[in-house]
Amino acid sequence: MGQHATENLGLSPHWISKSSNFWYRNELPQGGFEFIFVDTSTNSRRRAFDHQDAARKLQQLTNKTTNAESLPFSWIQPAPDALHVRFRAHGKAWTFTSDGLLEECHDAPDEGVPNLLDGEVPSPASDTQVHITFVNHDTGPLTLEWIDFEGNPVFYGDIDIGEERSQRTYVGHVWRLTDASGAVKAVYAAPEHNNAVVIDGGTMQELVVAAEESRTPKRQATSFPRVTIHNYNVWVAFSDGENRQITTNGNRERPYDQRRVYISPDKKHLVAWQYTPQQERIVTFVESSPKDQVQPKLKQIQYLKPGDRVRVDRPRIFSLDTRSEISTDDSLFKTPYHLESVGWSIDSKEYRFLYNERGHQMLRIIGISLGGTVRTLVEESSKSFIDYSSKTYRQVLNETDELIWASERDGWNHLYLYDLTKGALQNQITKGEWLVRSVEKVDAEARRIWFRGFRMVPGQDPYYAHLARVNFDGTGLKILTEGNGTHTWKWSPGERQFTDTWSRIDQPPTSVLRDAETGAAVLTLEESNTTAKPPAEIFVSPGRDGKTPIHGIIIRPSNFDPTKKYPILEDVYAGPQDFFTPKAYSNLTSYREWADRGYIVVKLDGMGTNWRSKAFHDVCYKNLKDAGFPDRVAWIQAAAKTRPWMDTTRVGIKGGSAGGQNAMGALLFHGDFYKAAVADSGCHDNRMDKIWWNEQWMGWPVDQAYEDSSNVVHAGRLRGALMLIVGELDDNVDPASTLQVVNALNGADKDYELLFVPGGGHGAGSSRYGRRRQADFFERHLGGVK
């Protein structure tokens, strides 16, 4: 469950090997791009080479039209002094010197890690945002698709010849580009930094050799003792040739796990995990219209739902000297949702693991000693939920046997330092009515932490990210970034400097080079283009309690006329795992498409979403139907009071996945305000959806709260116009969730529209046809500009 939106590509430095200098690709305000070289010894910047001369000579040698502002390559390899630069263009490698000589070279330029894949794989879960620019230098238009978490393509738009598209995405997420015939031209996995990729006729071919080399297995050195699982039990091979079975209690119902074997550093003890497998929960799909045959196909997947039996792990400790188990008590970890290994202490005296109790109200770091004593080293508890899926952080400092730990125990997500030898808290590291979003790096020797923080600067949007550092003892807190906007940064190889880019949705990016120790700006790299028209307006207004600020944006049509009345369309996604209103400068392509159809489009984050205070987040607990709607309604009404062109009598709402649940819920629980809704691939009953997401927010065991938040149970309350969209092969949210809503609506004698998509996966409504049907629906039920 997640959302994407297009955004402006931020600055991404590429540090030059054996040098503190770097280059980057700069997007020009009038379109196109340039390559900039930065000399950190003089704190100066310049073009990396003569673009006009290089374009002219490249065109002469290749007979292919070449534009100096849109060169047919996105990566260069400058010399440390930039006296020459290498690049790849039109299937060949080139060297261009500072005195204007362009010639083909035999050594291909080092293009870093291009992240081109030789085949599609599902996108991994990730919450680290990056920005990618796709540049089309192929022979025809390209279609851009995101490969979702189940391996299904989701359409994102077309890129014409010679054009480029900036895309916000997440680290590791996979993108496919195909031509008009459907041939795959590139498969790309987003790297850990902002980047650009040029797609031409040779993009995929250049991959083959590197891909084959990467798949060549590496020889592993044999080490002893060597542990294997045979017939469900643990066997250990020793260096003297002895191979001994050391367990006899493993069986099909309770086997040992080969992937969960941990030998102590001194090689004298072993921990092996025995487990009871999860229950079988099969979700069945019928593919009605397969492309390769006339008859339908059956597809089945394993898919745990709330209340199902999860895998239960049981760590057991063994002495390798006696070849026997050391007895332990499991009362401190008897009801797990999930366990994770933390590892052995450096002195081999204790094995540690993380215990996440079922229901997500208890987290523990547990230690097992060589004598079998089991103790709690760290314990975290909550009356609502512990946000294990977003905020769990631990960093073991082996040399001092300490642990850096994240907790919301004081109402804000902060860092704490624990003494693991004593199993006791030493001190709280960060403190205040702000929060730690993520830890960037830890210097154990200097006893310092660098982290990404939210709400750190008074008067700024609480979701704006800043880089800060602090000492282990909580002293020396310093914010290293400056500028009223959300910040991204990239460290130099020696971490003595970093680039800092910040922007707001109403202000284009500014980028500077900063000193890593003081945070002082030593060189301005790119300044904000203040003449650019903001793509959206930022609006802040109190929520349901009359005091908590709710932050959102308002997007007007390009041909906006303040003398007219416009219907309002809210794009909703209230999943508690994150916040969803764009903060960085963005072209907001998907929102702009709807605004230009004649709507005032709004996007905001109400209570119950993430990365504010714990109290703000807890509103969602056992209450997903809330979805922040009291805040959303108050926010829209407040905006309309000073914007007479916003027509609050015609408010529509659209969303997909968890947003689909929210969109339909708007008509069930707030049908006096919302008049029309489109729910795409909705999770309409949390008992029907994936276990991890729903038990995280709705709790365990499954109780009345699940029924209270169910769109199926409350279908009879429907007011307004509803359109449901579902793909028959959606293996993210069980399609039966939507069809159970359909059944309940039929039983309640309610009118609605249903778009059922044969072969469609999650987000089936994002196709061209799906978007056109949604547009027709809202035009009929909300009307146009008046």
Domain membership of residue 279 (yes or no) is no
The residues, any chain, with a CB within 8 Å of residue 420's CB and separated by 6 or more, are 345, 352, 365, 367, 377, 396, 401, 402, 403
Last residue of a domain, one of 78, 104, 130: 104
Per-residue pLDDT band at 134 (split at 50, 70, 90): confident
User: For residue 563, what are the domain limits?
Assistant: 537-781
Domain membership of residue 689 (yes or no) is yes
The answer to whether residues 542 and 549 touch, using CB atoms and an 8 Å cutoff, is yes
pLDDT of 522-580, one tens digit each? 999 999 877 778 999 999 999 999 999 999 999 999 999 999 999 999 999 999 999 99
Domain membership of residue 568 (yes or no) is yes
Q: Would you say residue 24 has pLDDT above 80?
A: yes
- Give the mean model confidence (pLDDT) for residues 469-484: 98
Domain membership of residue 268 (yes or no) is no
Q: What is the pLDDT of residue 220?
A: 44
**Which range among 128-137, 150-159, 412-421 has the greatest average pLDDT?**
412-421
Q: What is the pLDDT of residue 212?
A: 41
Q: Would you say residue 708 has pLDDT above 80?
A: yes
Domain membership of residue 29 (yes or no) is yes
pLDDT of 242-271, one tens digit each? 999 999 999 999 999 999 999 999 999 999
Determine the Cα–Cα distance for residues 309 and 292; give it in Å rounded to an integer.
37
Q: Would you say residue 160 has pLDDT above 80?
A: no
Determine the Cα–Cα distance for residues 361 and 356; give it in Å rounded to an integer.
8
- Give the mean model confidence (pLDDT) for residues 644-658: 98
- Give the mean model confidence (pLDDT) for residues 346-354: 98
Task: Please tell me which residue, 135 or 713, carries the higher pLDDT value.
Answer: 713
Q: Would you say residue 494 has pLDDT above 70?
A: yes
Q: What is the pLDDT of residue 112?
A: 59
Per-residue pLDDT band at 655 (split at 50, 70, 90): very high
Phi, psi (5° rounding) for residue 235? -120, 140
Minimum mean pLDDT range among 19-33, 340-354, 601-615: 19-33
Last residue of a domain, one of 58, 89, 104: 104
The residues, any chain, with a CB within 8 Å of residue 646's CB and separated by 6 or more, are 566, 568, 600, 636, 639, 640
Domain membership of residue 742 (yes or no) is yes
The answer to whether residues 47 and 33 touch, using CB atoms and an 8 Å cutoff, is no
The answer to whether residues 360 and 336 touch, using CB atoms and an 8 Å cutoff, is no
Instruction: Give me the sheet containing 142-147, strands edge to edge.
Output: 153-159, 142-147, 174-178, 184-189
Q: What is the pLDDT of residue 111?
A: 63
The answer to whether residues 352 and 332 touch, using CB atoms and an 8 Å cutoff, is no
Task: Please tell me which residue, 454 or 32, carries the higher pLDDT value.
Answer: 454
CA quadruple 573, 578, 580, 586: dihedral sign: negative
Domain membership of residue 577 (yes or no) is yes
Task: Please tell me which residue, 97 or 194, carries the higher pLDDT value.
Answer: 97
Q: Would you say residue 197 has pLDDT above 90?
A: no
**Share above pLDDT 70 across residues of the chain, in percent, rounded to a whole number:** 94
pLDDT of 69-91, one tens digit each? 999 988 899 998 889 999 989 88
Count up the domains in the chain and report the number: 2
- Give the mean model confidence (pLDDT) for residues 779-786: 96
Q: What CATH number is attached to the domain comprising 654?
A: 3.40.50.1820
Last residue of a domain, one of 74, 104, 134: 104
Q: What is the pLDDT of residue 170?
A: 82
The secondary structure of 62-100, three-state, reads HCCCCECCECCCCCEEECCCCCEEEEEECCEEEEEECCC
Domain membership of residue 715 (yes or no) is yes
The answer to whether residues 627 and 674 touch, using CB atoms and an 8 Å cutoff, is no
Q: CA dist 361 to 119, 357, 697, Å?
A: 40, 7, 11
Average pLDDT over the chain reads: 91
Determine the Cα–Cα distance for residues 83 and 380; give it in Å rounded to an integer.
57
Pairing of strands 435-443, 448-454: antiparallel
Q: What is the pLDDT of residue 4?
A: 33
